[in-house]
């Protein structure tokens, strides 16, 4: 298995680096920053979609799978990026959005023109009666998951936006088209693939949800899911010895992921699951705030670590991505202990069993944007919920506070390169404004600080590259009932590491037998090893057996 020593860096291209002053990040901008990423030590860059799209869902509504949106650049630009990345030992991972296409895609346009071949690429159904959709499923973006087409007297399924029509994977031609798209990008030097909401492609049936919920039980981890992934593997990326694949799994289970990402299987290398990023959702509702439920967080991490380990399956590890608020603001403390808590979160995650993913800016401790006015928010989800919460009678102040904590825009503000205008991202007007924190939190100041969050990430990445126990060692939970500390051991035949992370802004005490251990890496300069450890606020330490 060639990926257990790897670390992936996620770039949100729109916000990373603009090279032509149009306020929109682009491929040539990314090329100009490759040395920075090589210095960090990462092995792969995962790019959010840069293909042609109307941008109703930030590029996850694909109108052409084989062409770049001109705002990002050209195929020639990408071929240069691929070559320059390869020179630095960095591979490319692309996002493949195969559950749905944009309604602007030529397949859907042909379907709407009445072409039967292409109509069968999508899921069209008769309604239950005049004006009634085929079932009561709800779109993940609110409202019915069905849209009526008068000329056919039929409805098409869209689990997401109305402009994102679901593909019919029971059609072998659809499956072949998807394999062909992967093979096209393989021919361009892309050998990493992240498959968007890939566990939704097999719909089990189209009956009403009896609980009047959203129907997800009928389209999540469906009956032919594993068959479809095995076929895709066989017909495309599985033909590469050096491929790296990850599936984004929506509302999934360990039992299913054990099959998706089993080292003896023929589906995917690893999986993203999101359960740990709901521990601060009150009543599991995104827009209702509560402090994180730390014991739930620990249990989720441990259950997934053990469950996947025992079955020989592999996790993708992450705190941050383009859809989540910044972890240092969410699970750390971005005011008094920004540096300590950012390093702590990195330590707790990177030493686990799995492949770590770093989201742009995470390695310098970028916090949430803390925008103060609704006019600063761009994301459609945020502007929609603003209206909903207004209608519910919430005050302006309360709504803005919720958005400051939860909006996806927190992750999408420009990468903070320096303290010049627009954080060094663009000379033009950025598509979304930079967060005010760029004056002090930026790459330039970080690189001048030997004790920076960035340097800590470098050390964690180096440990994964060089230490067998980090790559292959077993995960053994410790102090499972401790209310403030997340602790575990990584162990192989020769080595043992103990990782202790205090998730709180006050001291936390722990008793362990640490007689034969010494400090390997800590986020405090003077950590002392004792059987009775007193961890300071957000202290994280990796201890190695002598």
Q: Which strand ranges, in their side-by-side order, compose the sheet holding 270-272? A: 270-272, 244-248, 192-195, 91-96, 44-47, 8-11, 355-359, 316-317
Number of H helices, E strands in the chain: 17, 22
- Structural element, H or E, at residue 500: strand 496-502
Stated pTM of the model = 0.96
- Which residues, 6 or more positions from 395, have their beta carbon under 8 angstroms from its beta carbon? none
Cβ contact 253:201 at 8 Å: no
Q: For residue 489, what are the β-bridge partners? A: 476, 498
pLDDT at position 384? 87
Cβ contact 244:91 at 8 Å: yes
Query: Class assignment of domain 474-545?
Result: mainly beta
pLDDT at position 496? 98
Q: Would you write out the chain's pLDDT as a tens digit for each of its 546 residues?
A: 489 999 999 999 999 999 999 999 999 999 999 999 999 999 999 999 999 999 998 899 999 999 999 999 999 999 999 999 999 999 999 999 999 999 999 999 999 999 999 999 999 999 999 999 999 999 988 789 999 999 999 999 999 999 999 999 999 999 999 999 999 999 999 999 999 999 999 999 999 999 878 899 999 999 999 999 999 999 999 999 889 999 999 889 999 999 999 998 899 999 999 999 999 999 999 999 999 999 999 999 999 999 999 999 999 999 999 999 999 999 999 999 999 999 999 999 999 999 999 999 999 999 999 999 999 999 988 998 999 999 999 999 999 999 999 999 999 999 999 999 999 999 999 999 999 999 999 999 999 999 999 999 999 999 999 999 999 999 999 999 999 999 999 999 999 999 999 999 999 999 999 999 999 999 999 999 999 999 999 999 999 999
Q: Where are the beta strands (DSSP E) in 288-417?
A: 316-317, 355-359
pLDDT at position 116? 98
Crossing angle between the packed helical segments 338-350 and 453-466, to the nearest 10 degrees: 10
For residue 197, give both structure tokens.
């909401």
Specify the DSSP class assigned to residue 154: E
Q: Could you give the 3-state DSSP secondary structure of residue 102? A: strand
Catalytic center residues? 196, 248
Rounded Cα distance between 346 and 44, Å, is 18
Rounded Cα distance between 161 and 138, Å, is 11
Superfamily of the domain at 106-166: Oligo-1,6-glucosidase; Domain 2 (3.90.400.10)
For residue 453, give both structure tokens.
């969050």
Helix, strand, coil content of the chain in percent (nearest 5): 35, 20, 45
pLDDT at position 331? 98
Q: Could you give the 3-state DSSP secondary structure of residue 166? A: strand
For residue 411, give both structure tokens.
């992750």
Question: What is the bridge-based pairing of β-strands 146-149 and 91-96?
Answer: unpaired
CB neighbours (10 Å) of residue 251?
16
For residue 380, give both structure tokens.
């459609």
Q: Could you give the 3-state DSSP secondary structure of residue 492? A: coil
Query: Class assignment of domain 1-97+315-367+410-466?
Result: alpha beta
Q: What is the residue extent of each domain of the chain?
A: 1-97+315-367+410-466, 106-166, 372-406, 474-545
Specify the DSSP class assigned to residue 473: P
Q: How many CA atoms lie within 13 A of 163 on its CB side?
A: 14
pLDDT at position 143? 86
For residue 490, give both structure tokens.
């990584």
Q: Which of 193, 200, 116 is nearest to 158 (CA)?
A: 200
Q: Length of the chain in residues, anyone?
A: 546
- Which residues, 6 or more positions from 26, have their beta carbon under 8 angstroms from its beta carbon? 13, 17, 18, 19, 20, 71, 72, 73, 77
Q: Could you give the 3-state DSSP secondary structure of residue 218? A: helix
Query: Apex CA 233: angle with CA 308 and CA 273, to 5°?
Result: 35
Question: What is the signed CA dihedral for 278, 282, 288, 292, rounded to 10 degrees?
Answer: -60
Specify the DSSP class assigned to residue 415: P
Q: DSSP alpha helices (H): ranges in 188-293?
A: 225-235, 254-260
């Amino acid at each position: 298995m060639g990926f257990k020593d790897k670390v992936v860096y996620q770039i949100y291209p729109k916000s990373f680096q603009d090279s032509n002053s149009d306020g929109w990040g682009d491929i040539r901008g990314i090329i100009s920053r490759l040395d920075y990423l090589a210095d960090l030590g990462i092995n792969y860059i995962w790019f959010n979609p840069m293909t042609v799209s109307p941008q109703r869902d930030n590029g996850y509504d694909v109108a052409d799978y084989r062409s770049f949106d001109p705002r990002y650049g050209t195929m020639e630009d990408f071929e240069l990026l691929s070559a320059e990345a390869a020179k630095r030992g960095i591979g490319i991972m692309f996002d493949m959005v195969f559950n749905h296409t944009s309604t602007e895609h030529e397949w859907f346009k042909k379907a709407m023109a009445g072409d039967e071949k292409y109509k069968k690429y999508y899921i069209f159904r008769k309604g239950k009666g005049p004006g009634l959709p085929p079932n009561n499923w709800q779109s993940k973006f609110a409202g019915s998951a069905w849209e009526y087409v008068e000329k056919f007297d039929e409805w098409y399924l869209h689990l997401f936006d109305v402009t994102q029509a679901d593909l019919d994977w029971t059609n072998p031609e659809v499956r072949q088209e998807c394999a062909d798209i992967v093979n096209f990008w393989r021919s361009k030097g892309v050998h990493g693939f992240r498959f968007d909401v890939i566990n939704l492609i097999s719909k089990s049936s189209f009956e009403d949800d009896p609980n009047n919920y959203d129907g997800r039980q009928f389209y999540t981890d469906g009956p032919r899911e594993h068959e479809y992934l095995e076929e895709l593997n066989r017909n495309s990326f599985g033909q590469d010895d050096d491929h790296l694949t990850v599936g984004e799994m929506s509302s999934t289970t360990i039992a299913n992921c054990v099959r998706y990402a089993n080292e003896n299987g023929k589906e995917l290398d690893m999986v993203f699951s999101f359960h740990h990023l709901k521990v601060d959702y009150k009543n599991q509702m995104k827009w209702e705030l509560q402090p994180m439920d730390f014991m739930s967080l620990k249990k989720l991490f441990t259950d997934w670590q053990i469950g996947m380990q025992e079955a020989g399956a592999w996790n993708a590890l992450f705190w941050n991505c383009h859809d989540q608020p910044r972890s240092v603001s969410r699970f750390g403390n971005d005011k008094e202990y920004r540096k300590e808590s950012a390093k702590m979160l990195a330590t707790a995650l990177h030493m686990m069993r799995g492949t770590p993913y770093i989201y742009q800016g995470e390695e310098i401790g970028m916090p949430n944007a803390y925008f103060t006015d609704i006019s600063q928010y761009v994301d459609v989800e945020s502007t929609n919920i603003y209206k909903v919460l207004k209608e519910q009678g919430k005050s302006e102040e309360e709504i803005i506070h919720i958005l400051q904590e939860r909006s996806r825009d927190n992750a999408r503000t420009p990468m903070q390169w320096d303290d010049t205008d627009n954080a060094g991202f663009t000379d033009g007007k950025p598509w979304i404004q930079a967060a005010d924190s760029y004056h002090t939190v930026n790459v330039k100041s970080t690189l001048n600080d030997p004790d920076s969050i960035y340097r800590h990430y470098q050390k964690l990445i180096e440990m994964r590259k060089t230490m067998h126990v980090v790559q292959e060692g077993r995960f053994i939970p410790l102090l499972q009932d401790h209310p403030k500390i997340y602790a575990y051991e990584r162990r192989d035949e020769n080595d043992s590491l103990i990782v202790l992370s205090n998730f709180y802004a006050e001291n936390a005490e722990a008793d362990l037998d640490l007689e034969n251990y010494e400090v390997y890496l800590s986020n405090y300069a003077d950590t002392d090893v004792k059987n009775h450890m007193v961890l300071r606020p957000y202290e994280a330490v990796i201890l190695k057996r002598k």
